[in-house]
Structure 1
Amino acid sequence: MRDAPSFDEFYRSTSRRMVRYGYAVVGDHNEVQDLVQEAYARAWRHWGTLADHPAPEAWLRVVMARLAADRWRRLRGWRGVLSRTGPPDAVSPPGEDSVVLVAALRQLPINQRQALALHYLYDMPVEDIAGEMRVPAGTVKSWLSRGRTRLVALLPGVAEPELEVNDVA
C-alpha cells in the first residue's frame, strides 16, 4: 500500500538533489524537469515496495539515468534522420483569415467548437460525432447549428456557406 506522507517526505528531502543531479547529467533545465517528474511518478507507482528499499534515492537516480539515456537514444535517431533528410521546411505564419477564424472559434462554447472541428476538419458525420462525444445526434446537430450561426455573427462580411444535405442530416 502506498503511504502518501512518507512519499511526500521522501520527495521533499530528495527533489533538490535530484534536479541538480539531473542537470549535471542532461544539461538542459527544461528536460531535467520532465525527467525528474517522470522519475518521481515511477517512484510513486512503486512506493509500496520502494519505501522499504535500502536506498530509494539511488533507485531514483538509476531511473533518472535510464530516462536520460532513452532521451539521448531518441535524439540520436532524430539527428540521423535530419542528417539524411535535412531540416524540415519552415512553417509559415498563419494567414489573417486563420487568425480571425480562430479568434471567433474561441468565443464559442467548447462543445460547439469540438462539434464544428470534428464535422468540418475531420469530415465526421453527425452520428460519429455523437458517439465520440457521448451525446445524442440531435444535440450535435444543435451544436453545429448554433455554432455556425454564432460564427456568422462573429465573422462580419463572411457569407454563410450553402448547407449541404450532410450538414442538416
Structure 2
Amino acid sequence: MPDGSDDEYLAYVHGRTAELRRTAYLLCGDTHQADDFVQETLTKLYARWPRIGRVENVDAYVHTMLVRVFLDDRRRGWWKVRLTTGHTDRAAATGDPSDRPVVRAALARLPARQQAVLVLRYLCDKPVREVAELLRCSEGTVKSQTSHGLTRLRDILGPDHREPAVAASWERS
C-alpha cells in the first residue's frame, strides 16, 4: 500500500496512466475528453493521496473515481461547452474497425450509466461484481443496466448490425 509520499504517487501514476486513458477513452470515445477525465481523476487522487494507505484496493478506488468523473460529466446540463470537432482517435478501440464509428455513435445515445456499464463489462472486460463496486450499486443493477443497454443498442443499431461482427462482441452473459 502506498505510504502517501509524492514519489509513491508519481510511481503509481506512471504505472497506471495508460490503462486509465484506455478506460476513459472507452467510456467517452474522444481522446481529448479522455485525457481530461484522467487528469481530473489524478488531480483528485493527488489531493487524497496522503490518506490512500487506508484504501484496500487502490486500483479499484481510482477506477471508481474515473467512472464518477465520467458520470458527473454526463450529468452536466446544456451549459457545458464542448470544444471538439467530433474527430476522434480510435487507436484505443477494439473489434472490427468498420464497426467502431457505428458502435461508438450508438453507445453515445445511451444513458450515461448504461454506457458506463457496457463499456466496463464488455470493452474493459470487468466482471459484474467489480462493475457494481466501481459504480457503487448492486450486482442486480449492473445486470439490469446491461440488459437494458444491450436492448437499446440493438434497437439503435437495427437488424443490419445483429451480424456476428457487432452482436458477438456485445452479447456475453
TM-score, structure 1 normalization = 0.42
Larger radius of gyration: 1
